[in-house]
Amino acid sequence: MKSGHSGFPVLPGSAIGVLGSGQLGRMFAIAARRMGYRVHTLSPDEDTPTGQVADVEVNAAYEDLDAVREFARGVSVVTFEFENVPAVTAATAAECTPVRPSGHVLHTTQHRLREKTFLSNAGLPLTPFRRVASCEELAAAASELGLPAILKTADFGYDGKGQFRIKSGDDFGDAWRAVGEREAVLEVFVDFEKEISVVAARTGSGEFVHYGAIENEHVNGILDTSIAPARVSPKVAREAVELARAVMDALEVVGVLCVEFFVTKNGGLLINELAPRPHNSGHFSFDANLTSQFEQQLRTVCLLPLGSVLQFSPAAMVNLLGDLWSNGEPDWKHAVSMADVKLHIYGKTMARPGRKMGHLTALAETTDAALEDARHARRLLAREDC
């Protein structure tokens, strides 16, 4: 019997397949290689962040199902590093080898409408929404939900892409065109107090660990900073963790999942989005915790016990976007001049505005101090006056 099947653990020395080849796969591959696993990655791209540290980089379209079958046959288990892998790709891989988290998790979370319907059926709190399939339906939904509201594509949206904020009825036409005139979700615009997330890992037998509530700040729809622990009351943090557990139990996730929340002005929680994989807001765990979110992904997909999430100190993470390259190469020697700040660069060859190129993690005695250090290091990198 091949390891990985029927509950047999996948042990060091085995090969793990990753669908997708970005920075999440790269950090997963680093964690896996540290523990003696081989990593194969499949994506349409070459010289990728994951491929640069993997043992094998396969270049094929996700729709090339022969290539997917061959890829899956060469590994003991397949996981993914982004959820927009077509469902048929995961299903085809699953004919040959276990896929974790399983295809149904991918299917639910790669489509906003399915995700929101699942959350609402499970009785979990989320932003009020309506399905919209025409400009007329958009107008009707807006009159039910009220304005302002946000129109989002039902599928393949991330980092604020495929979204349009509607302030008045005059915006309907522009909004409908902005989402490509296809199935979309209209959501109430939440005047939130702050945004938080919970990154957690779950095994097949329901064991669960989490990294607590993480506080996130987005700029232009893209995550800019995360701090852990979040500056919220213990009650809010506890509720967020329990909601994350409820989501993972309801979805029967074997793997890592991130739940993003809005904290409302009265301290309530609304789920914004799920990601069935390590998440940008959990990157601090690479440096700040005994077991990173990437190692937890490895452990769960290999059916190994979960690792300790012990956090060494408060931490802050700031993203490094391609914008930092607008005045030439960032000042790397400054990036490593602060002893408590760790630099992560993803190996992407082209820096474009808004593209995630790397991140910095700072550890300090308080979250505020960590945040200050991380931001200071980023200003040094950008050669801004500090």
Quick one: 223 exposed, middle or buried, by C-beta within 10 A (0-12, 13-18, 19+)? buried
CB of 81 to ligand AMP, least distance (A): 17
Q: Which of residues 270-309 bind ligand AMP (CB under 6 A)?
A: 272-273
Is residue 150 a contact residue for ligand AMP (CB under 6 A)? yes
Tell whether residue 109 is a contact of ligand AMP (CB under 6 A): no
Of 231-260, binders to ligand AMP (CB under 6 A) are: 260
Q: Is 376 left (phi over 0), alpha (psi -120 to 50) or beta?
A: alpha
- The C-alpha atoms of residue 271 and residue 260 are separated, in whole angstroms, by 6
Q: Which stretch binds ligand AMP (CB under 6 A): 20-28, 30-38, 155-163, 336-344?
A: 155-163
Any bridge partners for residue 17, and if so which?
Answer: 40, 78
| Residue 225 in contact with ligand AMP, rule: CB under 6 A | no
| Per-position DSSP letters for 186-239, written without gaps between them | EEEPP--SEEEEEEEEE-TT--EEEEEEEEEEEETTEEEEEEES-SS-HHHHHH
- Per CB under 6 A, which region of 152-160, 204-212, 283-291, 314-322 contacts ligand AMP? 152-160
Is 24 or 54 the residue whose CB approaches ligand AMP more closely? 24
- Interaction residues for ligand AMP, span 327-356 (CB under 6 A): none
Closest to 46 in 3D by CA, of 36, 35, 32, 61: 61
Half-sphere exposure of 362 (CA within 13 A, CB side): 25
Query: With respect to ligand AMP, which residue has the nearer C-beta, 147 or 304?
Result: 147
As a whole number of angstroms, the distance between CA 138 and CA 285 comes to: 41
Cβ 148 to ligand AMP, closest distance in Å?
A: 8
Question: Site for ligand AMP (CB under 6 A): which residue of 160, 229, 322, 354?
Answer: 160
Q: Which residues make up the interface to ligand AMP (CB under 6 A)?
A: 127, 150, 152, 157-158, 160, 187, 189-190, 195, 218, 221, 260, 272-273
